[in-house]
Amino acid sequence: RLAGFALGSVLIQKHGEFNIGYLDWVVVEPRYQCQGIGTQLARTVVQVMEETYKIKCLIADTPAENKPAIEFFVKKIGMTEKVPHVYMSREVTPIGDEKNLPGPKDMTVRPLRIDDLHTVHNLGEVLFARFPNLIRNWDEHSVMSQFQTDREFSLVAVINQTIAGFALGTYIEKPTQKKKFGHLIWLGVDPRFSRRGVGHRLVIEYENIVREEGCQQLLVDTEGDNFPAINLFNKLNFSHKEKHVYFSKQLLPAAGTASAAGSTRGATGSTGSSGRLEFSGRGRAQHPERVQQQQQQQQQQ
């Protein structure tokens, strides 16, 4: 009988100093809870990510109202670095007045081009150092990947031949709901052009794109303390706020064997994970395939 499962993923930094592990789901059948199964599942997933992908941190998140999961992360795992995060959404609106668009009159919004990638990446490095995003990793690879896979959902605002801002997104289709969602993933404005309607205009132009794609709803998210972005989204009538908490803790190498424990989907509901787990050094859980490989190596020796 299936007692539970754990799913994880790895964010690989092409030019970064380390890879990031994401513990997506740890789920345990209610009748088997409180028996350490979730801990063992999480420990095994983290071990595989550490050994295979050399991750140096693990990220984890949960809805802000999931108090049992938050307590588990803090008290059981010691994840004291917490970053509040806000998800917002609204229905895609009909086309508005194209004659009175926000932003400077000499500003144009056009699709992202390949020769824009370096400038956009550098601008993002400046902007997202202030509001680091634990969910997504901003680097040259992420910008190039966006250009290759979602070029039609990528825009830049240009003023006097200078890139003043950018909007990068995608769309999500849920066949069971017969619905499409436009997801604005990155929105950045050069500080030199802030408070001039650049971000507002980019959101409007992005909404025009997802409307043509047949999307019914527009999704955005940002850190809970990024008040300029939250204020902008509030002005653009985004609502349905869903608050999450992201956890961050460095993975420190332990002498000899090491282990990591965590449960990202609590017993009271769905919880994600975004943080850094520190190994406890209490003996590591062995992956079955890895154990078999070690036994075969010993026999050969």
Give the pLDDT confidence score for residue 256 in this predicted structure: 42
Q: What is the pLDDT of residues 164-196, one digit of tens each?
A: 999 999 988 876 677 889 999 999 999 999 999
Query: Which pLDDT band holds residue 62 (cuts at 50, 70, 90)?
Result: confident
pLDDT in tens, 127-149: 876 555 555 667 777 789 889 98
Please check the confidence at residue 63 and state whether its pLDDT lies above 70: yes
pLDDT at 23 over 50: yes
pLDDT band at 255 (very low <50, low <70, confident <90, very high): very low
Domains of the chain: 4-85+245-300 (3.40.630), 94-236 (3.40.630.30)
pLDDT interval class at 123 (50, 70, 90): very high
275: pLDDT confidence band, cut at 50, 70 and 90? very low
Residues 6+ apart with CB under 8 A from 280: 254, 258, 259, 260, 261
Query: Which are the contacts of 174, defined by CB distance < 8 A and separation ≥ 6?
Result: 180, 181
**Of 71-80, 89-98, 150-159, 213-222, which gets the smallest average pLDDT?**
71-80
Phi, psi of 156, rounded to the nearest 5 degrees: -130, 145
- In SS3 terms, 39-98 reads as HHHHHHHHHHHHHHHCEEEEEEEEECCCHHHHHHHHHHHCCCEEEEEEEEEEECCCCCCC
pLDDT digit string, tens, across residues 30-59: 999 888 888 888 889 888 988 998 888 878
- Give residue 133's pLDDT: 53
Q: What is the pLDDT of residue 257?
A: 37
3-class SS of residue 277: coil
Q: What is the mean pLDDT of the chain?
A: 76
* Residue reference for tokens 């079955």: 288
Q: Please, what is the angle between helix 140-149 and helix 117-130, to 10°?
A: 120
pLDDT, mean of residues 240-244: 82
CA 62 to chain centre: 12
pLDDT at 294 over 90: no
Q: Is the pLDDT of residue 205 over 60?
A: yes
Tell me what pLDDT residue 253 has.
Answer: 62
Name the burial class of residue 38, with classes exposed (0-12), middle (13-18) and buried (19+) by CB atoms within 10 angstroms of its CB: buried
Question: What pLDDT sits at residue 49?
Answer: 87
Ramachandran assignment for 163, one of left (phi > 0), alpha (psi -120 to 50 degrees), beta (any other): beta
DSSP track, 146-208: HHHH-GGGEEEEEETTEEEEEEEEEEEEETTTTEEEEEEEEEEE-GGGTTSSHHHHHHHHHHH
What percent of the chain shows pLDDT beyond 90? 31
d(CA 272, CA 242): 13
